[in-house]
Structure 1
Amino acid sequence: MTPPPALEAVGLDIHFGHGARANHAVKDVSFKVGKGEAFGLIGESGSGKSTVLRAFSGLNEQYDGALLLHGQELPHHRDKAFFRRAQMVFQDPYGSLHPRKMVNKVLLEPLAIHGLDRPQERVDAVLEAVGLGTAFRYRYPHQLSGGQRQRVAIARCLVLEPEILLLDEPTSALDVSVQAEILNLLARLRQERGLTYIMVSHDLAVVAHLCSRVAIMNGGEIVEQIPVADLRAGRASHPYSRELLAASRGAA
């Protein structure tokens, strides 16, 4: 018997506001992500991709349709156990870290919330895993480079040993030279830990580096789902997908 997908969206619909000013941000979005897969959501700003990710993460509880984890429908209001299993890496690594807390405290907090044992041992191990080392425990975010801050943000997610990472443009705030380092780190961590990723990005090259399959969004809808090999080869069937690929090549 085939196991259910790790994550699934079924007819996801999201509105913001009411009446004439209502914004239908996500329209009947459905897709499946297999266990251990890296799946990308790509599209221009305002296409609805980050809104989908926030619904999966539990940050937006107002949606219609269903979101499933291993075949079980998730409640709109997530419990603590969900956040042990699924964590989100945000776009801005500086904004997502408390400026007045040392790295050690930032990483110990989720362990205290979830009551996990050997907290300091776990913190040291996860700092090594993201390529920083234990000396970084006693630094503040302002003492770190953008790439180092994003490594800390990834470590904060990994310290709970989740099975799913939701990646919201995780390299867009970084220098181009650092982007590849973070993408390579994420690829290695997925392989080593059997993680499942949903990655949101407007950058086709970034998604192609990490993901095996992508859904292309426009105006709140998924217009096409294709393998990354087809994306790289420019084999897209929907007119908007072809337009996006052409624009991406022009910017390269």
Structure 2
Amino acid sequence: MTTPNLEVSQLSIAFGQGSSRVEVVKQANFGIGKGESYGLIGESGCGKSTILRAVAGLNPDYEGALLIDGFELPRRRSKEFFRKVQMVFQDPYASLHPRKMVQNVLIEPLQIMGLDRRQERIDTILSDVGLDQSFRFRFPHELSGGQRQRIAIARALIVEPELVLLDEPTSALDVSVQAEILNLLNRLRRERGLTYLMVSHDIAVVAHMCDRVAIMKDGRILEKLTPEQLRNGAVSEAYTSDFLAASAPAVVRAG
């Protein structure tokens, strides 16, 4: 068996101290193979985004282990880690500096990582996310929500990572553009051989995007399913059945 690109082992995360201490993730275990898209799904507050932030290095206070390609990650992430792992956040407007032109947003990670051919890389990534070169000179407030998220995706991918963390990447967008962004993410995964860890509360999104899905409740992973099992309601936990019944039945219909 090949080593998973990402392995989460006995991950537990708590906030607060003493009587106010709350355990928000409880002994989570899963692995994601190279090139796979894996979804964490559940209600708000179930711990799925907390896992994502721990993997990204934004929350170093956890118990258990996080491994990339078989090597355990240190609590303090290195520059090499961020070459390999990048994150796309939920709100594309909040994640972009309002006073920076797109060109500056995209060149900054290249400068931090010491990468060459910067103008060429910007040209390429804008084309890859479906934007022409005129977008170089726009500010975030001059872009639509879908265009802002394309820039956020471009910023994450311009350093050529292997693993991309997706935190509800379409939930802040109009329904009319959600499928466009999901299709873009699927195409980029195929073309670049990317591995995705996606967090969502939307069954339709994960069914469209993910090869496997973990259902979370109260900080625990209850069960792991395929998209087909999700669509067919072939589940073993009563909570999962209720969650599916309460969610929109339609699966994203995107090309």
TM-score by length of 1: 0.98
Distance (whole Å) between structure 1 residues aligned to residue 248 and residue 188 of structure 2: 29
Aligned in 2, Cα 1:250/1:240: closer, same or farther, shift over 3 Å? same
Q: Which runs of 5+ in 1 are unaligned?
A: none
Distance (whole Å) between structure 2 residues aligned to residue 164 and residue 40 of structure 1: 13
Q: Secondary structure at the match of 1:14?
A: strand
Distance (whole Å) between structure 2 residues aligned to residue 39 and residue 251 of structure 1: 20
Distance (whole Å) between structure 1 residues aligned to residue 84 and residue 140 of structure 2: 26
Tell whether 2:36 aligns with 1:37: yes
1:204-238: per-residue Cα shift (whole Å, max 9, x none)? 00111100100000000000001111001111111
Alignment of 1:78-157 (within 5 A): 78-157=77-156
Partner of 2:166: 167
- Decide whether the 8 Å contact of 2:204 with 2:250 is kept in 1: no
Q: CA deviation at 1:13?
A: 0.4
Distance (whole Å) between structure 2 residues aligned to residue 227 and residue 200 of structure 1: 15
Distance (whole Å) between structure 2 residues aligned to residue 144 and residue 194 of structure 1: 28
Tell whether 2:2 aligns with 1:3: yes
Distance (whole Å) between structure 1 residues aligned to residue 249 and residue 168 of structure 2: 21
Distance (whole Å) between structure 2 residues aligned to residue 57 and residue 220 of structure 1: 18
Partner of 2:56: 57
Letter of the aligned partner of 1:24 in structure 2? E
Aligned in 2, Cα 1:157/1:101: closer, same or farther, shift over 3 Å? same
1:38-66: per-residue Cα shift (whole Å, max 9, x none)? 00000000000000000000111000000
1:19-55: per-residue Cα shift (whole Å, max 9, x none)? 1111101000000101000000000000000000000
TM-score by length of 2: 0.97
Distance (whole Å) between structure 1 residues aligned to residue 39 and residue 89 of structure 2: 15
Question: Quick one: percent identity of the two aligned structures?
Answer: 64
Q: CA deviation at 1:243?
A: 0.8
Tell whether 2:231 aligns with 1:232: yes
Tell whether 2:12 aligns with 1:13: yes
Q: Secondary structure at the match of 1:101?
A: coil
- Decide whether the 8 Å contact of 2:203 with 2:248 is kept in 1: no
Distance (whole Å) between structure 2 residues aligned to residue 211 and residue 35 of structure 1: 13
Distance (whole Å) between structure 1 residues aligned to residue 248 and residue 88 of structure 2: 27
- Decide whether the 8 Å contact of 2:212 with 2:224 is kept in 1: yes
Q: CA deviation at 1:251?
A: 8.8
Q: CA deviation at 1:76?
A: 1.0
Q: CA deviation at 1:107?
A: 0.1
Query: Which ranges of 4 or more aligned residues in structure 1 deviate by more than 4 Å?
Result: none
Q: Secondary structure at the match of 1:32?
A: strand
Q: Secondary structure at the match of 1:165?
A: strand
Letter of the aligned partner of 2:205 in structure 1? V
- Decide whether the 8 Å contact of 2:204 with 2:249 is kept in 1: no
CA-atom RMSD in angstroms = 1.0
- Decide whether the 8 Å contact of 2:88 with 2:165 is kept in 1: yes
Q: CA deviation at 1:134?
A: 1.1
Q: CA deviation at 1:249?
A: 3.9
